[in-house]
Structure 1
Amino acid sequence: MQISIIIPALNARSTLPACLAACKAQTLPAGVTSEIIVVDDGSDDGTQAVAEAAGVQLIQHAERRGAGAARNSGLAVAMGEIILFTDADCVPEPNWVAEMIRPFQDSTVQGCKGIYATHQPELVARFVQIEYEDKYDLLRPQPAIDFIDTYSAGYRTAVLQATGGFDETIHYVEDQELSFRLAAAGHKMVFMETAVVWHQHSDSLRRYFRKKVMIGYWKAQIMRRYPERIVKDSHTPQVLKLQMGLVALFLAVLVASVLFPFALIAAVFLLGIFMLTTLPFLQKAWRKDHAVCLAAPGLLFCRALALGIGYAWGLARPLLKK
């Protein structure tokens, strides 16, 4: 079996060396070979030189075209029967390839998703890690999933080629659109929590908030194509949707209280309900990181607010057709 590891890179000179070193140091099962393909998406910081020095296959875009286009360029030249994706700021564990390809021993499996880990000391980054782990708890019991993040992703090459790869008109969370498209076509995808890549999460509230706004914006675009996923998908906690609604109502009532002071009571009531919805997350966080647990209510409020702003923006400014 031949595996192709595709890494899109944009101004990744500082992070790409560790990623490539980890990819080259993989402990491969007997009979498995791998190739590493870096797609430089119009970098201007010397990313190309890093890839060349590492001796991996390099594809260059003359100008920025987006992560989806970069992955498609790698797919176009890949020789492997299984495609693995990771990002230029990720460092896979030595057994990452072996764990990622294990589910494909089942001929019905067409895609596989691994997980993030981090050693970061920053409070926001530690919160983000627990946020991911909360989603992993949701994915773990499911025999099939409908979303694969491309930081640790595997697909059968034939399936990607047959479905057209990534939609290059989507410039954020394009992996979500691809996953929903594969799921809609009946392709089975699974969760593999033993396939780990290390990552540097958003380490400040500003970066985290901006990222969530962008996720909300593009999520609204993608939901135009897959409205059935608004109700439920395999990776989004249902409580998150409730929290977004509560935050929107809280802010609306809070504004109304300027004219109608009695509305302030309703605002406090809504905030109290929001706090109650955070309790399951707080229980998980307390067992892992007391400081994150104490900060989590405010961070969860910011998450719901940012996603809500982005989603409303996406609804008001449609870019994608159904």
Structure 2
Amino acid sequence: MSVVVVTYNSAATVGETLSSLSEQTYPGDRYEVLVVDGGSSDETEAVVSEYDAAFHVVEGGSIGACRNRGVALATGEYVAFTDSDCAVPATWIAAHVDRLEDREDETVVGVGGPNRPFPDDPPFAKLVGSLQGTVFGSGGSPQSHAIDEVRTVRSVAACNVVYDAAVFESHRYDDAVNVGEDAEFHHRLAEEGYRFLFDPATAVSHHLSADLGSFSRKNRSYGRAMARIQRRHGALIRWYSPLPSLALGGGTLAALADVRRRKPRYVPLLALAFLAVSAYATRQVYRDRRSPLALLVPLLLAVQYVCYGVGFLEGLIASDPEPTDRS
């Protein structure tokens, strides 16, 4: 078993990741930890040196390129990935390996699970985590949306995945892709008929956006990357990805129509629809968090949709179709 941790300027968090990997119930002599760095300028290497992990640098490398370097270095029958702002549970390797070894479907090439905020993360990050647990906050993607049973899915998040190493004999991540590299890779696998098992019981802790600014930037980056990836493939990889942009365009047209008519008609209808969506999501988040901060959900949804929608439009019109921007 080879565990690959991709990192970039992660001195503040990579120690948590490596510490959690050192406490696995899986036999220590049966797995290796490989840290692949994209050219950090902070003390990431110094932190990694305190742990039993090999450190490799892909200077200026994208996340896709770093993942591929990890695959090339891996010696195990299975290749696992988690990120340098995550911590995995002690049973992480053992649980995922057991799932893979017991699989009956030959099309299954990996297993993954959800990611959740750290217990000691700021309240805002926990709010973001709860919002992503709703269908309107995640679009139903399994790594975030609340799924309560093991099922077969087309994609999982690369911060919580173990692959059968055999899949890398003929498939790799795209070196040019940074943000969204897992979605792009898994789309190609899915098109060839491969699938993943999603295990909701094996979640990793993940540092989510701690403030509104980082939340906005991340959603804009995701939107831009997804548009570029879909431009490349000429296919809709995430069914929900164009919806925020369409909503922005529709809202603008509705406002212009109401101005032209000098009578509000369409904008109030759109506002009511958004309020209905927000009310549902707010209720779900409150049930999860039991915090008055759930009242911020309408604001977060608005910011998420606007920033993702703007980013998606930027990705559509960008002169360079390659999603190479670093998050």
Q: Distance in 2 between matches of 1:184 and 1:318?
A: 27
Gaps of 5+ in 1: 233-237
Alignment partner of 2:86 out of 90, 109, 120:
90
CA spacing shift, 1:246–1:272, aligned 2, 3 Å: farther
Kept after mapping to 1: 8 A contact 2:244/2:308: no
RMSD, matched Cα: 2.5
% identity of equivalent residues: 25
- Contact between 1:40 and 1:70, CA under 8 Å: does it hold in 2? yes
Give the secondary-structure state (helix, strand or coil) at the position aligned to 1:229. coil
Conservation of the 8 A alpha-carbon contact between 2:130 and 2:285 = yes
Partner of 1:75: 71
1:103, distance to aligned residue in structure 2 (A):
1.9
Checking the alignment, whether the CA contact within 8 Å between 2:231 and 2:316 is kept in structure 1 is no
Is residue 50 of structure 2 the alignment partner of residue 43 of structure 1? no
Equivalent residue number for residue 274 of structure 2: 274
Q: Which residue of 2 aligns with 1:222?
A: 229
| Unaligned ranges ≥5, structure 2 | 135-139, 323-327
Q: Counterpart amino acid of 1:317?
A: A
Alignment CA distance shift 1:260-1:124 (3 Å): farther
Q: 2:124 & 2:252 partners in 1: Cα distance?
A: 24
C-alpha separation in 1, matches of 2:249 and 2:54: 48
Q: Does 1:304 align with 2:305?
A: yes
- Worse-superposed segment, 139-148 or 280-289: 139-148
Size of the aligned set, in residue pairs, is: 309
Match of 2:218 in 1: 211
- Which among 12, 15, 28 is matched to residue 14 of structure 1? 12
Matched residues in 2 for 1:21 and 1:229: separation?
38
**Offset, 1:69:** 0.9
Counterpart in the other structure of 2:51: 54
Deviation of residue 272 (structure 1)? Answer: 1.1
TM-score for the superposition, normalised by structure 1:
0.87
Partner residue, 1:172: 179
Work out whether residues 81 and 159 of structure 2, in 8 Å CA contact, stay in contact via their aligned partners in 1.
Answer: yes
Aligned with 1:148 (options 148, 156, 159): 156
Deviations 1:14-39, CA, capped at 9 Å, x for gaps? 2111211110110116x981100011
Q: 1:229 to 1:55 in 2, by over 3 A?
A: same
Greater shift after overlay, 12-21 or 265-274? Answer: 265-274
Deviations along 1:217-269, one digit per CA (max 9) or x if unpaired, are: 1111122244553573xxxxx5x865553343224433665x53725442222
Deviates more, 1:38-47 or 1:248-257: 248-257
For the structure 1 residues 65 and 151, does the alpha-carbon distance in structure 2 shift closer, same or farther, using more than 3 Å as the test?
same
So what's the TM-score if we normalise by structure 2?
0.86
Whole-angstrom CA distance in 1 between matches of 2:320 and 2:99: 36
Deviations 1:98-131 (A, max 9, x none): 1222221215220112221222554431232113
CA distance in 1 between partners of 2:263 and 2:223 (Å) = 28
